[in-house]
């Protein structure tokens, strides 16, 4: 018997739009995130070091040494190692016992989870944590403070943001420095210029730590290792150009300084984990940080800083 009124079909629930994919590999030692549009990042949990950042076309934006330590035996050379709580070495400020650039880049971080990027729905935000409880007894003896680090990595179409929050979870104040050690991949370092350092004072570590002032854009014709405090402040972008065309634009937040580094011929040869030895032709470090002075955190205080790297 035919019914006069047939029930209407249930409306089909529309499928969810494509979501970012996040996977753990290498016995949970590495994490890869890929956006529906094709951009991807690869992160080593040892150091929470971003090893790779590719655009939608698969072009690699970071330089990684062929001899980089990826097995947890040391800090990886390339990508974005995290410098904390000391830049270089120190003969004071509570950091005199620490190895070069501190322990954050050479410690196992915990992956805390993922969420949708606030800036773009198709983006992804990944959180990582490191605290004094995660450190070995030896490292805690070298730097006996109670702290927490929260490192957030946000991949969006055309940009990468890294944010570091430092908290003092103990009763004793401590001092620290920090820096995001970006290794950018370029085609030819001798065709690269960096703008945004005009009129900035800097310390030239490759020339007996002399204090100088930058005139015009930074260019490269030999070993470069300089600590700049850009005159126009963190909000003014640093722009890496190659052959006159912009490649990367870096905007800093609460990071007053920036280091520019290329080892050139002789220093690259002397570095055991730098391969190939002529790799200096294909890389450039521009590293936002807070390193020209020391930050002091009192009990319960927090320090937050960030960088956003835009593909131009």
CA triplet 68, 70, 72: central angle to 5 degrees? 120
Helices (H), 71-189: 137-142
77 annotated binding-site participant: yes
Catalytic pick among 122, 241, 242, 287 = 287
Question: Prior bond to 161 cis, omega within 30?
Answer: no
Torsion of Cα atoms, 22 then 75 then 78 then 183, to 10°? 100
133 by DSSP, 3-state: which?
helix
Task: Provide the token pair at 42.
Answer: 């690869």
Give the DSSP letter of residue 236: S
> Phi and psi of 152, rounded to 5°?
-115, 130
185 annotated binding-site participant: no
- Cα dist from 70 to 48, 79, 111, 279, whole Å: 11, 12, 17, 18
90 by DSSP, 3-state: which?
coil
Has 287 been annotated as catalytic?
Answer: yes
What residues have CB less than 8 Å from 186, skipping those under 6 apart?
A: 63, 192, 240, 242, 247, 282, 283, 284
Catalytic pick among 39, 101, 181, 242 = 181
100 annotated binding-site participant: yes
Burial of 270 (0-12, 13-18, 19+ CB in 10 A): exposed
Q: Which residues are catalytic?
A: 181, 287
Q: Which residues are annotated as a binding site for substrate?
A: 77, 100, 105
Q: Which residues are annotated as a binding site?
A: 77, 100, 105
């Amino acid at each position: 018997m035919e019914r006069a009124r047939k029930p209407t079909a249930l409306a089909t629930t529309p499928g969810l739009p494509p979501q970012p994919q996040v996977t753990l590999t290498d016995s949970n030692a590495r994490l890869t995130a890929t956006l529906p549009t094709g951009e991807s990042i690869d992160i080593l949990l040892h150091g929470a070091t971003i090893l790779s950042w590719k655009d939608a076309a698969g072009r690699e934006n970071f330089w990684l040494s062929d001899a980089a330590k990826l097995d947890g035996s040391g800090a990886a050379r390339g990508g974005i190692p995290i410098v904390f709580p000391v830049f270089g070495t120190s003969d004071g400020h509570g950091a005199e016992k620490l190895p070069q650039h501190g322990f954050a880049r050479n410690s196992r971080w915990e992956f805390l989870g993922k969420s949708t990027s606030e800036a773009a729905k198709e983006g992804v935000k990944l959180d990582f944590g490191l605290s004094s409880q995660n450190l070995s007894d030896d490292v805690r003896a070298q730097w006996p403070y109670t702290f927490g680090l929260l490192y957030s990595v946000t991949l969006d179409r055309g940009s990468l943001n890294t944010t570091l929050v430092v908290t003092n979870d103990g009763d004793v104040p401590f001092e620290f420095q920090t820096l995001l050690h970006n290794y950018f991949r370029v085609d030819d370092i001798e065709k690269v210029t960096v703008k945004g350092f005009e009129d900035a004072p800097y310390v030239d570590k490759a020339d007996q730590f002399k204090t100088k002032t930058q005139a015009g854009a930074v260019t490269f014709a030999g070993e470069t290792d300089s600590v700049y405090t850009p005159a126009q402040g963190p909000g003014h972008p640093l722009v890496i150009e190659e052959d006159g065309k912009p490649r990367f634009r870096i905007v800093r937040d609460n990071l007053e300084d920036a280091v520019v580094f290329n080892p050139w011929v002789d220093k690259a040869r002397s570095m055991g984990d730098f391969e190939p030895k002529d790799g200096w032709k294909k890389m450039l470090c521009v590293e936002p940080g807070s390193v020209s002075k020391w930050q002091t955190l009192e009990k319960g205080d927090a320090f937050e800083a960030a960088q956003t790297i835009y593909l131009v």
